Amino acid sequence: RREFRFGERIGMVLMQLFNFAIPKAYKAVQARAIAATMIRIATDGTTMQYRSIENDAISE
Supply the pTM of this predicted model.
0.58
Residue-wise pLDDT for 19-36, tens only, equals 889 888 788 888 999 999
- What is the Cα 58 distance to its own chain's centre? 8
Going by pLDDT thresholds of 50, 70 and 90, the confidence category of residue 60 is: low
Please say whether the beta carbons of 27 and 37 come within 8 A.
no
Distance between CA 50 and CA 60 in Å, rounded?
22
Domain edges within the chain = 24-60
Q: What is the DSSP letter of 24?
A: G
